[in-house]
A = this chain, B = another copy of it.
Amino acid sequence: MKIGVLTHPKIPVSETLGAEISEWLRERNVDVCVGSSWDVEKISEQLETLDILIALGGDGTLLRIARLSATYSLPILGLNLGRLGFLAEISPENWRAALKRVLDQDYWVEDRLMLRVETRRNGKPVGESIDGLNEVVVSRGGIARVVRVTTEVNESYLTTYVADGVIVSTPTGSTAYALAAGGPILAPELRNLVLLPIAPHLSMARPLVTPPSAVISLRVRTDHRAILTVDGQFYVDLEDGDRIIVAASPNVASFIRLGPRDYFYNSLMERLQWTI
């Protein structure tokens, strides 16, 4: 068995914890590979040889690791070092008991839908297609002007949004930016996408939940700069007429879970920081 342990270069405690975890694992005859969660090259080289990835950090770290490891279906165990997150499973206080259960194979794996996004300019791809675990956002650049986004689902015209931007979110992303923009919450095991505008101006405002097979096309109309963002990371500058195609990815993100299957409902209110 080989486990990768990814520490966070900007969180000092993560180095110490990573070392403790590695030692603990090696004492139990586990092959361990330690690295920084920002060292994309090294991680990518090792992914094929690993059975499990342990990532120390917050939801942002887990999003990045999930995108990197998506093609390997590698189960990820998140150790949360930030505020209460939606993706991490264990905490600095309980990692020994948790890892013991992992070594005993006493866990289940939760697969989360990822989306795949392609950009086309004049009918040709711009860059490679990319997978996202939270959402893809087409939005205005630095100038505070609306973008117009002509939207089709399965090649049927839906509407033209006039808005700050348009989000296509996964169920995982439904508790992130899509929630801020007014979207519904989707149970994490769903394979649907949610389409919704950000600050729509006299255009359709309601989120649309599409089936797993849906192919969503967003054609950008703007006189200014527009940008494409995936999981909160800038991805590409968009020009007037660019078409962004979003659909379910064949890859999924896999997370190791130790709690009950329906944990999501029970913990939702706390994670949303509602007091009632």
Chain A interface (Cβ < 8 Å from any Cβ of B): 137, 139, 141-145, 152-160, 162-164, 174, 176-177, 179-187, 189-190, 192, 194, 196, 198-204, 206-211, 214, 225, 227, 229, 232, 234, 260, 262-266, 268-269, 272-276
Contact = CB atoms under 8 A, between A and B. Distances in A.
Task: Select the residue from A160, A207, A227 with max chain B CB neighbours within 10 A.
Answer: A207
Contact of A276 (B162, B164, B268, B269): B162
Contact of A227 (B144, B162, B276): B144
Contacts of A154: 262, 265
24 contacts: A142-B227, A144-B229, A145-B232, A156-B260, A156-B266, A159-B268, A159-B269, A159-B274, A162-B276, A174-B209, A180-B201, A180-B202, A181-B199, A182-B182, A184-B184, A184-B194, A184-B196, A184-B207, A187-B209, A187-B211, A192-B209, A198-B198, A198-B199, A275-B275
B194 A272 contact: no
Given A142-B142, A198-B199, A234-B144, A262 B156 contact: yes
Given A180-B202, A187-B210, A187-B214, 5 more contacts: A142-B142, A163-B180, A164-B199, A184-B196, A186-B208
Contacts of A163: 180
B276 A202 contact: yes
Nearest to A226: B142
Contacts of A199: 164, 177, 180-182, 198-199
B194 A192 contact: no
B208 A185 contact: yes
B201 A157 contact: no
A264 to B, nearest CB: 8
A177 B200 CA distance: 9
B203 A189 contact: no
A233 to B, nearest CB: 8
